[in-house]
Amino acid sequence: MASIRELKKDVKAMVYDVIDEAYSIQLYTPSKKEKSEALIDEAVGFYNDAITKINAANSKSEFKSLVSSFEEQAEKWIEKLNQL
């Protein structure tokens, strides 16, 4: 299992990748600005919630469930980005 520090870095990288891709979509397709802004807002909110959950987790089972939920969220974002 990854350390708490590594898990936080992975979540941060995942969120920054989504934000970066959303800004790229805005740059090349201005008509999709509202949808990409909503995705950015969702990613920032997720990041804040994820860090709070990571800090509150105490057991390995909690961390495993957090990691699986983060992976599911990453897949959802990939689908949303592909639809834009």
At 51, which CATH number?
Answer: 1.20.81
Threshold 0.75, pTM exceeds: yes
The total number of structural domains that make up the chain: 1
Tell me the pLDDT tens digit for each residue of 11-31. 999 999 999 999 999 999 999
Residue numbers of the domain that contains 30 = 4-83
Q: What is the 3-state secondary structure (H, E, C) of 12-52?
A: HHHHHHHHHHHHHHHHHCHHHHHHHHHHHHHHHHHHHHHHH
For residue 84, count other CB atoms closer than 10 A to its CB.
Answer: 13
Report whether 15 contacts 58 (CB < 8 A). no
Task: Give the tokens for residue 62.
Answer: 């909690």
pLDDT of 59 reads 86
